[in-house]
């Protein structure tokens, strides 16, 4: 039987998995195909019904471009913000990245 701490941890991981997948604009069906699981299994991980095996954690990290610390709620200084920035950067075109870089170089002087 799970205690409340384990249940909270499982819910936090489930929410992070779902958010990472959505940020990458991948459906549960697509994620299931990418990692060789059934869509219902992906749903059970993202609902916190089943514990997530390490191979699935690693697959989510690789596919979604995130750090496992993000999934486990381990807050290194600025880890969440760094993960969000990485996701946004991956969505940007090269031209958008160049404009952002110019802005940041000007802003940080």
Per-residue pLDDT of the chain (109 residues; tens, 9 = 90+): 556 687 888 888 899 999 999 999 999 999 999 999 999 999 999 999 998 999 999 999 999 988 888 777 776 666 667 778 888 888 889 999 899 888 888 878 7
Domain at 4-108: CATH architecture: Orthogonal Bundle (1.10)
> Helix H segments across 1-109?
4-23, 28-35, 39-47, 54-64, 68-72, 79-91, 94-108
For 30, the token pair is 């697509």
The predicted pLDDT at position 8 comes to 85
For residue 60, the tally of other CB atoms under 10 A from its CB is: 29
pTM higher than the cut 0.85: no
The predicted pLDDT at position 72 comes to 78
For 34, the token pair is 């990418």
Q: Among 48, 58, 71, which Cα is nearest to 2's?
A: 48
The predicted pLDDT at position 2 comes to 58
For 52, the token pair is 């997530």
């Amino acid at each position: 039987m799970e205690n409340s701490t384990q249940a909270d941890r499982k819910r936090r991981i489930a929410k992070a998995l779902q958010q990472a997948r959505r940020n990458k604009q991948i459906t549960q069906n697509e994620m299931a195909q990418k990692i060789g699981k059934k869509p219902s299994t992906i749903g059970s991980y993202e609902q916190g019904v089943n514990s997530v095996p390490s191979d699935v954690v690693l697959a989510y990290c690789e596919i979604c471009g995130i750090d496992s610390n993000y999934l486990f709620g381990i807050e290194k200084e600025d880890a969440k913000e760094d993960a969000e920035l990485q996701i946004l950067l991956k969505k940007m075109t090269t031209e958008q990245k160049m404009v952002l870089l110019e802005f940041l170089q000007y802003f940080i002087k």
